[in-house]
A and B are shown apart, each in its own frame.
Chain A
Amino acid sequence: MIILGIDTSCDDTSVAVLENRKILSNIVSSQIKFHSKYGGIVPEIASRKHIEWIWNVTDKALEEANVTIKDIELIAVCNGPGLIGSLLVGLCFAKALSYASEKPIIGVNHLEGHIQAVFLEEKYPDFPFLCLIVSGGHTSLYRVDDFGKYKELGRTRDDAAGEAYDKVAKMLGLGYPGGPVIDFLAKDGNPEKFNLPRPYLHGSLDFSFSGLKTAVKVLLKDLNYKEGNVSEEIKKDIAASFQDSVIDVLIEKIKWALDSEKIDRVVITGGVAANSELRKRAGMLKQEGLEIFLPSKALCTDNAAMIAIAGYHRFLRGERSDLYLNAKAYMPL
């Protein structure tokens, strides 16, 4: 079966073509340069760019996959959660395509897409498994018992991990987005230089990174630094200390969840799963007899192939959406 996947939930316009579980194309067109001058994504600009680009990205995806619209047998589109204006562009496009080409359409939850990205890899887990989705917008732990069977075990009560990265990067004058630059600086920093808190929230699988971000702010104040005006050496040490705290918490929570659910396999996905230190530390869990699945970086970050595969599995279960399908900014899995 040939599946067309569409994701416009945030600031990337993405279209992919799958043949069952095989990726024929997965185009991601990043808008980041239009948003970075604002220090973040501006919803109205994102919507406008999606409208400008969606046809071109679709053409490119079809061309690279060497198929035409006529060959498509299913249209899978992300209808939430995300920026409402952005979501609507992809959804309306998908609905028009479905109507005109008389091909079935299926709505996919963005978080379900992240969870299922691992099934695009050669090596994927058996059920049940634990999944940590960690990105700029989400930090959530799920127990996955089957396709479509997800149980949320915990989520962030305030800031997502990726958001804490962005905020700390801003305080250090490192620009947006913050994840890659902090990861880079941390390599040369001393993670034990500053003792930042580990927000474990004992007894809960929820997360909270708001206090950690505030702790970095207080630390900069104590060191008498103004926002953005920090010496290179201190930047590296703060980056390393901060990253160490975030990753300690993520790894510890994974262990708690595996323990309480009596599961020994975990998938780590989402934009922050591209972080080199998290990948390294997660890899070390293998020594404890756990099975660790880290999708490739391109499949961890937002992309339409993950939407296509989740849509495909829904379709196989007999699910269909219709043209009344609506987008939702807030849509728990």
Chain B
Amino acid sequence: MKIFTYSEEETKILGKIIGSFIKSQGIKVLALYGEMGAGKTAFTKGIASSFGIQEKDIMSSSFVIVSNYEDKNFYHIDLYRLENIEREDIDFWEYFESGTCVIEWAEKLTELPDNSLKIQIDIVNDQTRVFTLEVKDV
């Protein structure tokens, strides 16, 4: 499925809709793919708002890699700075099992758990983005 948004505001609204969707479907892992500037963090702000997290509390997670909103069981993971992650080095599965995970730069993970929602975000032009959704092994 493909969905277009025409502003950052619309990207956040789409995030909110997808957030309620994954909540209702019990999907625990949302893997985001898209180049720098595609709007992954803006989209995550929208998703997080469906989990009762304020938009301003979602910032880039590139520095800390994992932002943990423990009282909401929500993890905002950003793998931008990581190269060649090996399973022994970092155990993301612990997070996958403990709450809802939104993963930016998910292509840096070698595998995803079943029942993950994969979303590719592509830049069409300055303001327009296209979102391609795919559910893995439901």
A residues contacting B by CB (< 8 A) are 10, 37-45, 82-84, 136-137, 155-160, 162-163, 166-167, 170, 176, 210-211, 213-214, 217-218, 328-330
Contacts and interface: CB of A to CB of B under 8 A. Distances in A.
Contact of A163 (B63, B82, B91): B63
Nearest to A40: B81
Contacts of A162: 63
A39 B69 contact: no
B89 interface: yes
Contact of B81 (A38, A45, A330): A38
Interface in B43-98: 56-57, 59-60, 62-70, 80-85, 89-91
A329 B63 CA distance: 13
Given A41-B65, A44-B89, A217-B36, A210 B60 contact: yes
Contacts of A158: 41-42, 59-60
A157 B81 contact: no
B37 interface: yes
A247 B55 CA distance: 26
A137 B63 contact: yes
A330 to B, nearest CB: 6
B128 to A, nearest CB: 15
How many B residues touch the partner, as a band?
20 to 34
A38 B83 contact: yes
Contacts of A44: 89-91
Interface of B: 35-37, 41-42, 56-57, 59-60, 62-70, 80-85, 89-91
A84 B65 contact: no
B24 to A, nearest CB: 26
B60 A163 contact: yes
Nearest to A41: B65
Given A214-B36, A329-B70, A330-B57, A167 B80 contact: yes
A163 to B, nearest CB: 5
B27 to A, nearest CB: 23
B67 A330 contact: yes
Contacts of B35: 217
A67 B84 CA distance: 44
Instruction: Name the 6 nearest CB pairs between A and B, nearest first.
Output: A40-B81, A214-B37, A329-B68, A159-B60, A39-B81, A137-B63
